Amino acid sequence: MDLETYFNTGFPNTVLAMTVKNFSTEVQYQRETFELPRNIQFGLLFDLISLMNNTPAPHHLDLAVDLTNPIDFDERILLGLKYRFQTPGSSLGYSLRGG
């Protein structure tokens, strides 16, 4: 079973999310019992340009921070940055991602 939540914080373009994957009891397969590889992940995304009250701007700079805690590996912190150019009211835009 997987559980996910997505929370709009109320701050300009700031989102908080959480995921729990493979949340279950032990599984038996061919006389062997084992636990599924459970993974807990927290994420935070915010638009750095919108935090400076420059909305609606054609330029967006999103910073994503993920903390992942798998049961069979060490914890990891993942960072990502996305620059996006999109004029207000247009469905066409350009993006550049890295992380």
Domain ranges of the chain: 3-25+35-98
Contact by Cβ (8 Å): 60, 46: no
Label residue 38 by pLDDT band (50, 70, 90).
confident
**Contact residues for 76 (Cβ-Cβ < 8 A; gap 6+):** 67, 68
| Mean pLDDT over each residue of the chain, to the nearest integer | 87
pLDDT tens digit string along 39-83? Answer: 999 999 988 887 777 666 788 888 999 999 988 889 999 999 999
pTM for the whole structure: 0.71
CA dihedral 57, 87, 79, 2 (to 10 degrees): 110
